[in-house]
Amino acid sequence: MTLFNNRLLAACAGQPTDCTPIWLMRQAGRYQPEYRALREKYTMMELCTTPELAAEVTLAPLRRFDLDAAILFSDLTLPFTPMGAPFQLKEGQGPVVETPIRTPADVNRLRCIQPDQDLAFALETIRLLRPALNVPLVGFTGAPFTMAAYLIEGSGVRDCPTTRAFMLAEPGAWHALMEVLVENAARYLEAQVQAGVQAVQLFDSWVGALSPDTYRSYLLPHMQRLFQRLKLCRIPVIHFGTGTATLLEVMREAGGDVISVDWRIPLDDAWRRIGADRAIQGNLDPVALLAPREVLLDQTRLVLKRAAGRPGHIFNLGHGLLPATPIESVQLLVDTVHEESAA
């Protein structure tokens, strides 16, 4: 019987591990030939909403690499349709909302989800995966700001100008929107935990568009309420964002057992600002995996050097694996992190 690999959960709690745990955002995805073969047969939506297929995609990278966690294969935007905001996953573009939010009335039409009914396929995927894994399964959903950005912009738009304008022009509607999105995020993650995930990550992919003052005024109370509720789940919560070098202190105030940082700030600087009492995740630039072998090794070793062997470091990328990433580079990265951080 294969022993359960507890490195990720130990690191989330700030406990020592025999080597640094590593998992990779988008570790199940387009860089893998197995995934590309499935995408020739099925749409992205079919993969996400068919439990057997989603489980297969989730497991594929674990069969190739000695990763320390699996992450549920899904999409941030799947709660949109049941909450009253139909969308499509368009090839090469990502999620596109049919009727973006423009007025307070648009906010009022949104509903709170019932995950056991509305997202039953994702929960069934979790139940299929747990017996097949000897590493923790990480669940996830989108953070309120990032979900609001998709709903207001209509798709992924850098710097989120329409979202920020709506926030300032319609503060009442904005806070009402946050309340719905906090409730939906909490319900969905609670249902994932009940189905069997052992950690969760809250993705705030677009939050780097905000200034610290704006975050405090329009987002912080909502995030604090969400993290307080997730504490009741008694599992590690990873707080992820990109472009957040100016937001680390306020993200710490918001909550999370682990703060994930991207490559735009040295990992040791980020950890100093976040505080030694929190675990930290990151922070290799995904582009490093497209570089020559020696460059990848140098960049990987630099992250490990900045972590300095302190308990509570989870090695990951600052964002997701790029589709052009060579399989050999992922193998080299995983092996290097484990071998060179071994106690």
The answer to whether 278 and 312 are in contact (CB under 8 A) is yes
Residue 15's identity, in one-letter code, is Q
Q: Which stretches of the chain are DSSP H helices? A: 7-12, 33-39, 44-49, 51-64, 104-108, 115-118, 120-129, 144-153, 161-169, 171-195, 212-218, 220-231, 248-254, 267-274, 293-307, 327-340
Question: CA 184 to CA 41: how far, in whole Å?
Answer: 32
Q: Catalytic: 150?
A: yes
Active-site residue, from 39, 216, 264, 301: 39
From the candidates 7, 35, 75, 106, give the one annotated as an active-site residue. 75
Three-state SS at 199: strand
Catalytic residue at 272? Answer: no
Q: Which tokens hold the place of 319?
A: 């964002």
Q: Looking at 7, 26, 187, 278, which residue is catalytic?
A: 26
Query: How far is residue 118's CA from residue 52's CA, in Å, rounded to a whole number?
Result: 18
CA distances from 213 to 99, 201, 220 (A): 30, 24, 10
Q: Active-site residue 30, yes or no?
A: yes
Query: What is the distance between the alpha carbons of residues 305 and 322, in angstroms, rounded to a whole number?
Result: 24
Q: Of the residues 31, 35, 150, 218, which is catalytic?
A: 150
Residue 257 bears catalytic tag? no
For residue 238, is it left (φ>0), alpha (ψ between -120 and 50) or beta? Answer: beta
Annotated catalytic, 39? yes
List, by residue number, the catalytic residues: 26, 30, 39, 75, 150
